[in-house]
Amino acid sequence: MVLVLGLLLTVVGLAIAGRRLFFLYRLVSSGKPAPGRTEGAWERVQAEIVEVLGQRKLLKKTVPGVAHFFTFWGFTILLFTIIEAYGSLFQSSFAIPLIGHDSWLGFLEDFFSVAVLLALVVFTIIRIKNSPARKERSSRFYGSHTDAAWITLGGIALVVITLLMYRAAQVNVGDFPYSDFAFASHLIANALRPLGVATNRDLVSVFLVGNVAVLMAFLVFVTYSKHLHIFAAPLNVAFSRRPKALGGLWSTPNMDPEQLTEDTVFGAGKIDDFTWKQLLDLATCTECGRCQELCPAWGTGKPLSPKLLIMSLRDHLFHSADRLLAPAPAEGATAVEAVPLVPNVIDPDVLWACTTCGACVEACPVDIEHVDTIVDMRRYQVLMESEFPSEAGTMLRNIENQGDPWGLGTSHRLDWTEGLGFEVPVATGELPEDVEYLFWVGCAGALDERARKVTQSTARLLNKAGVKFAVLGPRESCTGDPARRLGNEYLYQMQAMQNVETLKDVRAKKVIASCPHCFNELANEYPALGGNFEVIHHSQLLSDLVKNRALVPSKESQAKITFHDSCYLGRHNGIYDEPRSVIDAVPGMVQVEMERTKERSFCCGAGGARMWLEENIGTRINEARVAQALELDPDMVSTACPYCMIMLDDGVKAKQASGEAKETVQVLDISQVLERSLQE
């Protein structure tokens, strides 16, 4: 009877769960191809080890992270107990061959059973403690479906409790294969022993069947809830971008007019346009809210929450399942029209609020790639619908006609060289043999008054250190970063291919970029268009020059300084230590860190083409970041990005005008900080 009931429950449970999983497989597979998602096998294996087995991102929040770690490993180890449970249906004294009687396995099974129960207590306390705040916008659980989590906690608890109960009863009837190293089972057995052998034998049957029933019910529940991530997360991590999910955008669409047709679609305008990996992202979301917690747009009152965006797209995906999986309509039949994503599923204010800072991607424990999905939807709006914020039109026209977002033109590209005291070589042909670097100044570095001062400091430092460099001057043009992040892929590729040809023409081998956005384009995105160059950020070069004593800071400073990590230098490219090492080299300088720093840094608000868009909803992002810096009462706020410098300087001036900041606070690039320490 026990065998029949156990097998019947298993067949029914597997049939229901299997049918659901097959449906999910078909739904995800309906997405467009996602080339390159299986390349770099060893890197993907490493990701599975670190992200899935090691739970690296989850452990960044210590208490819930440790609880989740033991729950994950508990269920991994308890796979052995599932084998034992089904074996016991056939043979009461079943033990896994070869290792079934080894004490170490019995100990591990009991240890992780207890660990899982303790983890559930931790989760319960956290949920009760945070329950009132879940309805508040400031909570990372705001908008999540939290009721199902109680079912999950209950289901996990029942799996472990029924497991320990039948194991304890097995001890008392002599069918348990492990010694008293299985401490929890033997401890419970002591409590059950007075009931007698016959009753314990009945308890084995009841709790064994109960364990199978709970396992099957839990399996079915998982496949129909957000807890599907138990199965989807390892797959999503395995197919995520490698070596990291940030840096250059994953896809570079073919924009060759000769290969385009009337049916060509750019970006994602409907759910059908996403790749299978993007659809897998949607199915994998755990609704944990770590992305929402760190999003600068959400944190300053904008409508964009990366979590809610993914949840909305996921709900729409399931709502569209019948259409996506339906057979092709018969000839002459009318096909069901797909619903446009914007504005029907995603509000335009949500789409355009993103700064592409990557905080969401960095925080996501299951490697969802929010930024690429947002940019894909922007591409469709810009290229297919010509729908985008009106003020962005001026920026795009300026790039197209003048080669820079400000529209100042090439005639001003060398204005920053005036008054330097030395000649800056301008590459009109191939670079001379003695010129080691081409200095990519960037639009901000050449044309913005504040950023020009940074460019001048950097040039003077390179000259002082004996570094031979040249610039392109009027031949330099916008890398296309703001156009690409806004969604105008066509304009971006026009700019990029022009720049690639220019760099090849002068035979540039090593390129210095002081703007992280330019750095990211040159290093990470231009290779897809044939531009393969060795690119170094000015903070990296200055750090090396200081380390090698080509530049020796000597003038002491007693200033307190805090460094702001640029999103595209830090999160997108992993450069954190070099700019800090430059500041640390200044004698007497006291460096203090903001609460949101390095991987968790708070955006300045300029990325994703937001520099040229109005910010009318909520608090200005740059002012929110400046407020975080001013909490430390610094004398200087430093950065290594001209975008950040402009935004932070505007924020500090606004705070000074309102009396919220002392008048002496300065915003400086690390090159300016270093140069001051070298001055006689």
Q: Give residue-wise pLDDT tens across range 183-231.
A: 998 999 999 999 999 999 889 889 988 999 999 999 999 899 888 888 8
Q: Is the pLDDT of residue 243 over 80?
A: no
The helices-and-strands tally (H runs, E runs) of the chain is 29, 8
Tell me, what's the pLDDT at 100?
A: 66
Average pLDDT over residues 5-31: 92
- Where b means 16+ CB within 10 Å and e means fewer, 274-300 reads bbbbbbbbbbbbbbbbbbbbbbbbbbb
Q: Is the pLDDT of residue 134 over 70?
A: no
What are the distances in angstroms from CA 664 to CA 77, 564, 615? 60, 18, 27
Sole residue written with tokens 């090396």: 544
Structure tokens at 411: 């005639």
Reduced to 3 DSSP states, what percent helix, strand and coil does the chain have, rounded to the nearest 5?
60, 5, 35
In 258-378, beta strands by DSSP E: none
Amino acid at 655: K
Structure confidence at residue 271 as a pLDDT band (50, 70, 90)? very high
d(CA 575, CA 568) in angstroms, rounded, equals 9
Tell me, what's the pLDDT at 250?
A: 87
Phi, psi of 537 (to 5 degrees): -85, 150
Structure confidence at residue 147 as a pLDDT band (50, 70, 90)? confident
Pick the CATH number of 266-325+337-385 from 2.40.128.120, 3.40.50.720, 1.10.600.10, 1.10.1060.10: 1.10.1060.10
DSSP state of 381: I
d(CA 152, CA 123) in angstroms, rounded, equals 11
Tell me, what's the pLDDT at 680?
A: 60
- Where b means 16+ CB within 10 Å and e means fewer, 239-250 reads bbbbebbbbbbb
End-to-end Cα spacing for the chain:
93
**Tens digit of pLDDT for each residue in 43-59?**
888 888 988 898 888 88
Cβ atoms within 10 Å of 631's Cβ, excluding its own? 12
Structure tokens at 387: 């729908």
Name 471's bridge partners.
426
Centroid of chain to Cα 402: 34
**Tens digit of pLDDT for each residue in 156-180?**
899 999 999 988 998 898 888 787 7
Q: Are 94 and 87 in contact (CB under 8 A)?
A: yes
Of 135-149, 433-447, 638-652, 660-674, the one with minimum mean pLDDT is 135-149
For the entire predicted model, the pTM comes to: 0.92
Average pLDDT over residues 115-140: 81
Q: Is the pLDDT of residue 559 over 80?
A: yes
3-state secondary structure 390-455: HHHHHHHHHHHHHCCCCCCCHHHCCHHHCCCCCCCCECCCCCCCCCCEEEECCHHHHHCHHHHHHH
Q: Is the pLDDT of residue 274 over 80?
A: yes
Write the class of the CATH domain 553-678.
alpha beta
Torsion angle of the four alpha carbons 7, 13, 17, 22, in this order, in degrees rounded to the nearest 10? 40
d(CA 487, CA 305) in angstroms, rounded, equals 19
d(CA 185, CA 163) in angstroms, rounded, equals 9
Structure tokens at 466: 């004996």
The length of the chain, given as a count of residues: 680
Tell me, what's the pLDDT at 140?
A: 79
For residue 266, the SS3 value is coil
**Tens digit of pLDDT for each residue in 596-653?**
999 999 999 999 999 999 999 999 999 999 999 999 999 999 999 999 999 999 999 9
Tell me, what's the pLDDT at 13?
A: 92
Phi, psi of 442 (to 5 degrees): 85, 160
DSSP state of 656: H
Handedness of CA 509, 510, 514, 515 (dihedral sign): positive
Give the architecture (CATH level 2) of 391-545.
Up-down Bundle (1.20)
d(CA 95, CA 98) in angstroms, rounded, equals 9
Average pLDDT over residues 297-312: 96
For the sheet with 636-639, list strands across it.
Answer: 590-592, 560-563, 636-639, 666-669
Q: Is the pLDDT of residue 301 over 80?
A: yes
Sole residue written with tokens 């109005």: 614
What is the residue-averaged pLDDT of the chain?
91
Q: Is the pLDDT of residue 293 over 80?
A: yes
Tell me, what's the pLDDT at 455?
A: 97
Q: Are 323 and 26 in contact (CB under 8 A)?
A: no
